[in-house]
A and B are shown apart, each in its own frame.
Chain A
């Protein structure tokens, strides 16, 4: 039995309204009630530090076929630096570096949000290789033959729910994500633009209908994480209307919008693009059923990685360097398009400003999540800099000063005085993500919680503070000390086991046979992958 006392730090646990100087006790890998009489207590002196639960990233592309394709496409970027782990060059980090860098920043759980069911086995194998942090995945659904066929054939809601449950279970996911639902299927029929009410050729259904059915299905299955939706028209000026329509389309049911910044674009002004952040923030205020991660753009080289094959197909000729990889895949496929967000580009600066506006204008931090849609808006290693911008208006003003002034004409950013508190940072990086994912023993520090604790030296330079945790305790064991990772340990992959009628596989069988000449369980993820010990931990499937 091991007992640890983290003593004297400023403990910030918004889930329980705690923000005070105090102690956090851990026993056998979990947070426990104080044990003042215990012997052999390992003590961590956290005086002068801020103590929070381990952070959670709800949307970060760290594994899977598209991430792998990006590594193959851009080896020269990774080869350019002596220690790739420390430098973002615009190509995905290797898996060890991914885990280590997250841990150094105090993260303990990351969610890969786009696992194609037909790539789930390989993706989970990769996720198992990410050390220090726990992992989870969202199963991509919404452009696949089976779902579209069920919708075309007016299958019952229960049949659709059973299929969604089967898909989540067979790919061992923590939820489901729809990526340009219907739009990617339409691309295969040579459709180049697809809106919420456009009809998928051959199936006769719209994105609105697909989203509606998926929201219902997830609700009836009790999947804690609501539909994670990457809606239509990503990145297109004027798409704020699509986002607003999408929010309305939820009809009050829970829904999570992915990388909202990429949908915050009006089409007014000299740039042909303007900020729609105010409209989105107002819509978020009116619709408490909606949550969103932001997908903040940060300046520098990056590579866009997306299962929105339609968007990537349309953007492929903007690639810099001039090479891309776009695949029509089974279900979504995907695309890899490298680019650089330039501080001299008024469009890129506007994107940067819109992201910050959304963070600052959406009042309820419990429905906003800190992401860059890694690596699409920038690397996750930019989070500390982003936190600094959110917490300090003077830093924002200094950054704005160095950027082209006319890029800000349509934004309200300069006039926003809000500064995030440490407690609000804890909400958007810990408490709210845990609630969103339904991982009830994470994101807080009450007894029974997983013993994932991040301890930061409190200092005015917030970027420095959040870049290197003084300690990260993972499952009760020190994983990071003074900003450096210790011996690698491999955590768990969280998944659901939704209750569904396995008879639904009779519907799946025909589609799988036509496409692959293979049975429905061809891509089911087995209990064991690389190691003798299963990496999976099942999370309760109830809202």
Chain B
């Protein structure tokens, strides 16, 4: 058993012991009228404990970027993995807004690096930044949507590949036929996009396009830069409750409503009086989260954060404790052993301690 040291703070002042912070966090959840737990980077065991804590506290639980995957999870589509794409894709469509950060995505880097001849195009409001164009090399051709919405353009491409007329001006017709013909000519195409970059309508439209194309050839979707913790939380929430996030617990039973229980919407509407932010990284607590009256933080930060009612430090998954996570570049779950000994706590252990305290003291409002 490791000796665990958990640096803790209350109102940005370091208290005497961990137990007092655990008690403070438990009290906060217990006394809250409508508590919210937001998960950022977390491992599978931490996600499981977060779900059980939410159940005990009658809280709502969501991932910090859960809005990004709503259409994906509930509408479904044809998808592939980074590994399959790297080995097989002969055509890669970059779709939607792409930032410089995506240029560092390992899956995209491998798609661009490998020896297999691969054609790239983009479609979006603007051309991708130079960092991505450089990564792709060979001159990145594409289609600027311009004033048209991406959804509408995808709809026209669907019309084109299904043999329907495209009622648009000549330039758009040309762009649509170029893109549609290129996609139809692929043997194994992959539409890649930054996780969260497409809105629901764009997601639905893309899903339909890939399905239509796949009547004759193969096209699949591949989200890039999936935030750590997103799939971990989804997997454990759905397994342990039957429903995905966002989920709200009422009398121990989870309810799911992608709109009603979405963390961002609820916080913006002032529906929550207490939020527990859990992150296995030292990423700053997002500004939108800080609108909740009481903010508690469990994260890898090693110093006190201002404006936080209580704070405890945990380690980093796979660095400070053994963790099962889905690295974005692999797209599958792996057990990661830490390189050495660490005295930092895991989210599973700390959240479990808080849950047991809450169970001992009685559940939330």
Contact = CB atoms under 8 A, between A and B. Distances in A.
A16 interface: no
B239 interface: yes
A71 B243 contact: yes
B243 A525 contact: no
Given A119-B332, A125-B44, A190-B187, A94 B110 contact: no
B218 A190 contact: yes
B334 A323 contact: no
Interface in A106-134: 118-119, 121-122, 125-126, 129
A187 B326 CA distance: 25
Interface string B242-284: 1110000000000111100000000000000000000000000
Listed residue (B324, B337, B348) with the most chain A CB atoms within 10 angstroms of its CB: B324
B60 interface: no
A129 B234 contact: no
Given A129-B48, A515-B87, A71 B238 contact: yes
B218 A188 contact: yes
A92 B331 CA distance: 23
A469 interface: no
A220 interface: no
A328 B79 contact: yes
A92 B218 contact: no
A233 B67 CA distance: 39
B138 to A, nearest CB: 22
Given A71-B242, A72-B238, A530-B45, A188 B188 contact: yes
Given A316-B211, A327-B80, A72 B332 contact: no
A523 interface: yes
A330 B76 contact: no
A404 interface: no
A327 B222 CA distance: 10
B324 A529 contact: yes
Contacts of A72: 73-74, 234, 238, 244
B182 interface: no
B322 interface: yes
B240 A518 contact: no
A403 B330 CA distance: 49
A424 to B, nearest CB: 34
A145 B86 CA distance: 14
A330 B218 contact: no
A458 to B, nearest CB: 34
A524 interface: yes
A95 B52 CA distance: 13
A19 B333 CA distance: 47
A122 B44 contact: yes
Nearest to B75: A323
A189 B86 CA distance: 14
Given A75-B74, A325-B77, A518-B334, A68 B239 contact: yes
Interface in A274-322: 313, 316-317
A194 interface: no
Contacts of A530: 44-45, 48, 348
A324 B244 contact: no
B217 interface: yes
A333 B218 CA distance: 15
A329 B88 CA distance: 12
A387 B348 CA distance: 43
A75 B240 contact: no
A72 B73 CA distance: 5
Interface residues of A, number: 55
A167 to B, nearest CB: 15
Nearest to B333: A122
A79 interface: yes
A260 interface: no
Contact of A328 (B75, B220, B324): B220
B83 interface: yes
B17 to A, nearest CB: 24
A477 interface: no
Interface centre among B76, B86, B87, B348 (most CB of A within 10 A): B76
Interface string B153-169: 00000000000000000
A94 B79 contact: no
A517 interface: yes
B220 A118 contact: no
A323 B324 contact: no
Contacts of B348: 530
A73 B348 CA distance: 27
Given A122-B324, A129-B48, A97 B81 contact: no
A329 B335 contact: no
Contact of B238 (A68, A324, A516): A68
Contacts of B334: 121, 518, 522-523
B242 A122 contact: no
A78 B80 contact: no
Contact of B242 (A69, A78, A187): A78
Interface in A191-243: none
A63 B239 contact: yes
A370 interface: no
B235 interface: yes
A526 interface: yes
A329 B81 contact: yes
B172 interface: no
A95 B239 CA distance: 6
Interface in B32-88: 44-45, 48, 73-84, 86-88
B177 interface: no
A94 B335 contact: no
Given A94-B240, A327-B79, 8 more contacts: A68-B238, A75-B258, A95-B239, A125-B324, A189-B187, A328-B220, A526-B335, A530-B45
Q: Which 3 pairs from chain A and chain B are nearest by CB?
A: A325-B76, A94-B242, A72-B73
